[in-house]
Structure 1
Amino acid sequence: MVQEDEGRVLVFSYDYEAESDFEVVSQLETSTTVRLLQTTDEETVPEISQPDDYTGHIIRYESESGPLAPTTLLFVRDGSISAGESGMLGGDASMFSSQLNLLTTSVE
């Protein structure tokens, strides 16, 4: 995985599963990522002045018995993760943007 900012990523709070393994399904188009990281009025939030600095990914949580449904989204700043790569979300998360309902957490 290639990224800066000490392995921190963004996830929507309602999709966050602490210490869960995941696999990257695919990367989102830049325009889709930008729309997701803006308000419904297409405005930026103070925490994300440049949404195109982020790369959006579709991920699927996994267990020992295989993939779990549904898929969810993960955002990486100044980097990306390739389809098929896997990782684990950290057990610590903090609110990154309450307006977008995004948490920041570590990834290993």
Structure 2
Amino acid sequence: MVQDDDGQVLVFTYNYEAGESFDVVSQLETGTTVSILQTADGETVPEISQPDEYTGHVVRYSTDDGPQAPSILLFTRDQSYSSGDSASLGEDAQMFSSQLNLISTSIE
């Protein structure tokens, strides 16, 4: 899997597992990604003024025995991944949007 230009992905804070490997299950529809990256009122947040520039992915953490449930969401900007791709989340993360509860981390 190749990282996006700035090497960062977004995940919800409650789904972040530092250094965990994951497998990409599928991509989200653009409209679904836009809805998720907006507030409940349909407004954008300062950190994401153009949510349609992001691609949402459904991923599952994996072990030697294969993918594990539950699925989580991962967002990239200007990059998309295909079903079956795999990578690991970075060891370090920082708050990206407290309003949406998203953190930014690298993928390895």
TM-score of the two chains, using structure 1 as the length reference: 0.96
In structure 1, the partner of 2:5 is 4
Letter in 1 for 2:5: E
- What is the CA-CA distance between 1:21 and the residue it aligns to? 0.2
Runs ≥4 residues deviating over 3 A? none
In structure 2, the partner of 1:28 is 28
Letter in 2 for 1:4: D
Identity, % of aligned pairs?
Answer: 66
- What is the CA-CA distance between 1:65 and the residue it aligns to? 2.2
In structure 2, the partner of 1:93 is 93
- What is the CA-CA distance between 1:68 and the residue it aligns to? 1.1
- What is the CA-CA distance between 1:64 and the residue it aligns to? 1.6
- What is the CA-CA distance between 1:4 and the residue it aligns to? 1.2
Find the aligned partners of 1:30 and 1:76 in 2 and give their Cα distance. Answer: 12
Letter in 2 for 1:37: L
Task: Tell whether 2:91 aligns with 1:78.
Answer: no
- What is the CA-CA distance between 1:27 and the residue it aligns to? 0.2
SS of the residue aligned with 1:40? coil
Q: How large is the Cα RMSD of the aligned pairs? A: 0.8
Task: Tell whether 2:55 aligns with 1:55.
Answer: yes
Find the aligned partners of 2:100 and 2:9 in 1 and give their Cα distance. Answer: 14
SS of the residue aligned with 1:55? strand
TM-score of the two chains, using structure 2 as the length reference: 0.96
Find the aligned partners of 2:90 and 2:50 in 1 and give their Cα distance. Answer: 25
